[in-house]
């Protein structure tokens, strides 16, 4: 671990670049970037990781002669960390989207709770599936995958080697669009099952008008939803695991695109 008190001016400038990249991924990555994590904890984690990584990264010997060029260098390091962190956030957004659609099918569209990560009102089922995905992410050592991607980023992209390119923008656009595709794929079994249940209830109400569909339909749909949710947890866990197993590959692909 580096000692800040022993660094000269040029080494301190290089350390700031390392700290900026580490801070970018810590602020945006899942688990680390949660709003429930105190800012003081994020600062300490960023500082400790930067001190550990600094002695092992390629050192910068030539710095920009003007302060504005150094600020651009800092912005490029921040871009690398933010892009790496956002990839994991996209996957969790897909899980939340799947839970929101399932909750709507169950009739819980008006029953929302405050999500401490996004500070927004989210579906109860969406929040439940997000918490389950977080636990799965931790059991898979997903937080170590994020740190490993940060370490590997220096072998692919040395400080100052990042740039915004058209393939990178297309990659991030595809990842943001895949939130809806992956979310529908994860929630497809429950969505289809609840859709068929609502269809059957609708047919019964047409064939037997004496049945009070609004009295019987909502509790039945809610009961079936929780039943399908319970029975489908093993399949949900497997789907989420397969999704998180591709996290490191997506991060590495993004790093290559950042390097042009």
Mean pLDDT is lowest, of 5-9, 22-26, 154-158, 164-168, for 5-9
This prediction's pTM: 0.79
- pLDDT per position as a tens digit, 120-157: 666 777 788 888 888 998 888 888 888 888 888 888 87
Count of domains forming the chain: 1
The parent domain of residue 47 ranges over 4-258
Highest mean pLDDT among 21-25, 201-205, 225-229 belongs to: 21-25
Whether pLDDT at 63 is above 70: no
Whether pLDDT at 36 is above 60: yes
- pLDDT per position as a tens digit, 181-226: 888 888 888 888 888 887 877 777 777 766 666 666 677 777 887 8
DSSP one-letter string for 51-117: HHHGGGSPPP----SSHHHHHHHHHHHHHHHHHHHHHHHHHHHHHHHHHHHHHHHHT-TT-EEEETT
H or E element at residue 41: helix 39-53
DSSP one-letter string for 158-223: -TT-----HHHHHHHHHHHHHHHHHHHHHHHHHHHHHHHHHHHHHHHHHH-TTS-HHHHHHHHHHH
- pLDDT per position as a tens digit, 71-96: 888 888 888 888 888 888 888 888 88
State whether the Cα torsion 163-31-154-249 is positive or negative.
negative
């Amino acid at each position: 671990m580096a000692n800040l008190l022993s660094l000269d001016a040029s080494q301190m400038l290089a350390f700031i670049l390392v700290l900026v990249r580490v801070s970018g991924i810590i602020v945006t990555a899942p688990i680390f970037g949660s709003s429930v994590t105190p800012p003081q904890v994020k600062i300490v984690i960023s500082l400790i990781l930067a001190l550990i990584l600094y002695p092992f990264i390629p050192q910068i010997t030539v710095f920009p002669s003007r302060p504005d060029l150094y600020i651009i260098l800092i912005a490029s390091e921040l871009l690398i960390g933010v892009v790496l962190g956002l990839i994991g956030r996209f996957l969790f957004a897909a899980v939340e989207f799947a839970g929101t659609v399932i909750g709507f099918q169950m009739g819980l569209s008006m029953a929302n709770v405050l999500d401490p990560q996004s500070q927004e009102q989210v579906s109860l089922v969406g929040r439940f599936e997000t918490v389950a995905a977080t636990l799965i992410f931790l059991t898979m050592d997903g937080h170590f995958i994020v740190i490993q991607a940060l370490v590997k980023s220096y072998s692919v992209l040395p400080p100052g080697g990042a740039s915004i390119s058209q393939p990178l923008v297309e990659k991030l656009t595809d990842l943001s669009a895949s939130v809806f595709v992956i979310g529908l794929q994860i929630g497809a079994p429950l969505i289809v099952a609840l859709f068929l249940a609502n269809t059957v209830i609708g047919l019964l109400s047409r064939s037997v008008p004496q049945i009070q569909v609004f009295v019987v339909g909502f509790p039945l749909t809610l009961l079936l939803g929780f039943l399908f949710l319970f029975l489908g947890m093993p399949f949900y866990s497997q789907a989420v695991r397969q999704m998180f197993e591709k996290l490191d590959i997506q991060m590495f692909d993004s790093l290559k695109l950042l390097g042009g």
